Structure 1
Amino acid sequence: MIHFKAIGKIMGALMFLIGVLMLPAVFFSWIYGENSTPIVISAAISLFIGTIFYFSFAKYDQLIRKREGYLVVTLSWVIMTIFGMLPFFLSAEVSSISDAVFETVSGLTTTGASILTDIEAMPKGLLFWRSMTQWIGGLGIIVLTVAIFPLLGIGGSELFVAESPGPTSDKVHPRISETAKRLWYIYVGLTVLATLLYWVGGMTFYDAINHSLTTMATGGFSTKNASMAFYDSAFIQYVAIVFMFLAGTNFTLIYFGLVGKFSRVLKSDEFKAYAGALILLTLVIFIGILMRSDYPGELAFRKAAFQVVSIVTTTGFVTDDYTQYGMGITFICFMMLFLGGSAGSTAGSIKFVRHVVFLKNSWLEFKRIVHPRAIVPLIINGEMVTGRIINNIMNFLLIYLSTFVVGALTISVLGYDLETSLGAVATCLGNVGPAIGKVGPVDNFAFFSPAAKNILSFLMLLGRLELFTILILFTPFFWRAN
């Protein structure tokens, strides 16, 4: 039996928290002399309904099991979307509910795809809330609430298991709430440091804090129509590259690095694959740019490194239109949409740990064929990977690619060309942002029909919660009583 009243209590706390997180946007509206009413009303609605829900179910303290954990996580992202879209819709800056939902889901899932055609004309307070949605979704609102819910008498272990991205189980502390807190300390600390460096580099404080929020979230929302290309500054762009790289790194490894346990970082097979792939891809794109442009060496390298790190970490910032360098580079950039950063990072897509397991297991399969009676274990980070984890990863890859194919087919049936359909679905499912076709790095998603936007919004949620968390709710045995 599912404990719906305990879930209602959690949803109430979440609604209240969303209302609190809207308040900084009100502050920026006041500073810039804008009409703050839409954001104030949105915050008030979230706080009011959240308070009613929480105290209506406050006495219910049933244990949150794994089944409730998956339901809570999915409902949490639905709730965040419903209340998060209110400032967009009430301000009338976004014309339809489907547009408001798309922009909000894109923010919360850190995809960065946008339906806004003139970002710089948007109110400052609303743009800040737009950036905040990515920062909230970056490490996961559930990780934040896991750190806070123990104060409310709500257990969080199953929520963390359901929401935390990737198949790894490394913990920085045996208590799940302490793990969540330490991850958020790192997340907040890096966000503050990025803000200061952007500010020193020449951004206004408002732009610096917005871009730091979306950099650490690997989200890619910008306050400028031209994204990071607006800032013709090597310092700012290199700062972005460094922090995008860190945001795409397993936060557990960052913690181990900060406390001096460098051996844990160096023995990580995923980190070595992640860093190695970024270096190799940067060199390939760098050579391609040199061959097809007259950029000087440093600028060509910076453009190559920026696009590679931005796409692989699923951030989606733009300093150049990579589709202008020919079909070869365009195809490589499209394939990068399927890489993703590290498990346990704020990045989306498939994640490098799955690629590493898949490639190593495929290579070992040749050895098993030659020596059918031999026991040939798969070793990752010095430890044997169990058959259950291998099976889970293989199933994930199959479902991910199947979802991509079905999604692209669906969008194309709605009347869009194949290149655009493939690009839109790949970038939304991978939570990246820019893609190919009519949704390239200098385009947006405003031209899609409401039906297409709703499908793409669902794909963004599906990708952010790594498929199983949502799809398991559509299975009959999930709802059967134990």
Structure 2
Amino acid sequence: MLNAKIIFRILGFLLVVEGVSMLIAMGVSAIYDDAGLLPLLYSSLISMGVGALTLLATNGADKKIGKHEGFIIVSLVWVIFSFFGSLPYLISHSIPSLTDAFFETMSGFTTTGSSILNDIESLPNGILFWRSMTQWLGGMGIIVLSLAILPVFGIGGMQLFAAEVPGPTPDKISPRIQQTAKSLWIIYLGFTVTETILLWIGGMTLFDAVNHSFTTMATGGYSTKQASVAYWSSPFIQYVITLFMFLAGMNFTLSYLAIHGKFDKVFKNEEFKYYLLFVVGFTAIIFSGLLITTQMDFELAFRDSLFQVVSIITTTGYATADYLSWTPFLTIITFSLFFFGGSAGSTGGGIKIMRVVLLMKNSYYELRRLLHPNAVIPVRFNKRAVSEQIITNVLAFFMIYFIIFFISTILFTLIEPDLESAMGAVATSLGNIGPGLGNVGPAENFHHVHPAGKWFLSFLMLLGRLELFTVLVLFSPAFWKK
């Protein structure tokens, strides 16, 4: 039988966490003495109040969490966090529409980075900080955050971790899930602080440096400037952000190994090799194309190529150039990156490099099996044979991903008649990237999209962030059978 009480108890606890996070943003408003102070205070009190009442109402709940409860909690928490996270926008009238506020917040927590704002600089600093903070919290995962704290309540978290990190072969740094969560957060925080210092040294204000570090490490892409990172023409700033986008797109287990001096294991890791290969390869193609088709100087062409490739392949979504203004060939190459994603175990969204590599390998081995039908040719990854179950899971993921992409694109053309814009909006939402194509490209935003379209894209963001299965399983009748 479904343990409804523990579901509400955990959601109540996480609402309290969200309310406390709003108090941090309120502190920023207090420092800058801006109009976000009271809206953030009221939003925090409402969130913590509802959370506290829920905790009181579910006192004495059975602490056992099964798979069913895990899937429901992980799916619901993003929706509930987004509704309550919308309060600062609504109360401050920074975003007066519930649809727009929910879209902006869901885009934040899922680290998509798509925005409806046309004058970002006009928002109070406290509200901008909260906007960036939604991505920073969502980047490592609200549930992973809770794993470091829930054991205090005597609640195990392995089922939550499995639902939150549903990659093909999720790694654990430590055999204890609580220690794993803490290790991940220490690395995440350390990278954030390091990037903040470098950006501050490079010429950003401390406020801008903190905000961009939050959204870089989350591979979210929210900026405090309407022009995004293009606002700063400094090569140093853009290269620093490029480096940390790359690190955020890596498997955090590898970052843990590198920090502990085990570089040989990092460079021997097959997923890292392909991740690096894809970044270098696509950068070389676009860089060569820009040199041939534009009058850009060598360094700027390289920087723009590298920045856009890393930004999109890691699903961060920052922009320093409008790739839609490039030649059609380069635009198509850039769009193809929408279907890669970062490494498994990273803060990036998308399909993930590991799945792409496993699909390529399995396709190649299928050709070999046709030539040698009696041979046993297993797919290997990091010198280990990959089980048929994982291969089946990867193939199913690809099939479902692209079926959803095509059906959603067709449906979205009823809202956005321009096919290019519809494809871009669906691909960027499902991949948690940010900018799309056409009317939702890097030089535009989602302000003009019909309200029904914004709710639809918000659902796709959630679907993509939780890698399809976690959400789709809830729509299966078998899931709800006793």
TM-score range, shorter chain: over 0.9
Bigger Cα displacement from structure 2, 417-426 vs 84-93: 84-93
Equivalenced residue count is 481
1:365 equivalent in alignment to 2:366: yes
CA–CA distance in structure 2, aligned partners of residues 169 and 452 of structure 1: 33
1:265 equivalent in alignment to 2:269: no
Aligned to 2:330: 329
CA contact (8 A) 2:19 2:45 kept: yes
Aligned to 1:133: 134
Bigger Cα displacement from structure 2, 279-288 vs 164-173: 164-173
CA–CA distance in structure 2, aligned partners of residues 445 and 432 of structure 1: 13
CA–CA distance in structure 1, aligned partners of residues 223 and 436 of structure 2: 17
Shift of 1:8: 1.2
1:152 equivalent in alignment to 2:153: yes
1:301 equivalent in alignment to 2:302: yes
Task: Trace 1:39-78 onto structure 2 (pairs within 5 A).
Answer: 39-78=40-79
CA–CA distance in structure 2, aligned partners of residues 328 and 374 of structure 1: 41
CA–CA distance in structure 1, aligned partners of residues 254 and 174 of structure 2: 13
CA contact (8 A) 1:61 1:154 kept: no
Shift of 1:55: 2.3
Aligned to 1:201: 202
| Secondary structure of 2:426's aligned partner | helix
1:16 equivalent in alignment to 2:36: no
CA–CA distance in structure 2, aligned partners of residues 27 and 369 of structure 1: 64
Residue type at the aligned position of 2:11: M
1:189 equivalent in alignment to 2:190: yes
Aligned to 1:275: 276
Aligned to 1:238: 239
Task: Trace 1:83-482 onto structure 2 (pairs within 5 A).
Answer: 83-481=84-482
Aligned to 1:6: 6
CA–CA distance in structure 1, aligned partners of residues 417 and 123 of structure 2: 28
Q: Deviations over 1:99-122 (max 9, x none)?
A: 011000000010110000010111
CA contact (8 A) 1:165 1:344 kept: no
CA contact (8 A) 1:106 1:114 kept: yes
Bigger Cα displacement from structure 2, 263-272 vs 393-402: 263-272
Residue type at the aligned position of 2:53: I
Residue type at the aligned position of 2:425: A
| Secondary structure of 1:413's aligned partner | coil
TM-score (ref. length: structure 2):
0.98
Q: What's the Cα RMSD here?
A: 0.9
CA–CA distance in structure 1, aligned partners of residues 416 and 197 of structure 2: 46
CA–CA distance in structure 1, aligned partners of residues 170 and 280 of structure 2: 27
Shift of 1:165: 4.7
Shift of 1:415: 3.9
Residue type at the aligned position of 1:4: A
| Secondary structure of 2:233's aligned partner | coil
Task: Extract structure 1 runs of 4+ deviating beyond 4 A.
Answer: none
CA–CA distance in structure 2, aligned partners of residues 382 and 51 of structure 1: 50
CA–CA distance in structure 1, aligned partners of residues 416 and 83 of structure 2: 28
Shift of 1:28: 1.3
Q: Deviations over 1:363-382 (max 9, x none)?
A: 00112112222211111011
CA–CA distance in structure 1, aligned partners of residues 187 and 454 of structure 2: 34
Q: Deviations over 1:400-457 (max 9, x none)?
A: 0011111111110124200000000000100001121111111100000100000001
Q: Deviations over 1:330-357 (max 9, x none)?
A: 1111111111010000001100000010
CA–CA distance in structure 2, aligned partners of residues 324 and 75 of structure 1: 39
Shift of 1:325: 1.4
Shift of 1:261: 2.1
Shift of 1:95: 2.5
Shift of 1:62: 3.1
Shift of 1:267: 2.4
TM-score (ref. length: structure 1):
0.98
CA–CA distance in structure 1, aligned partners of residues 436 and 276 of structure 2: 22
| Secondary structure of 2:442's aligned partner | coil
**What residue ranges of structure 1 are gaps of 5+ in the alignment?**
none
CA–CA distance in structure 2, aligned partners of residues 420 and 475 of structure 1: 31
Q: Tell me the percent identity.
A: 52
CA contact (8 A) 1:165 1:345 kept: no
Shift of 1:78: 1.2
1:30 equivalent in alignment to 2:30: yes
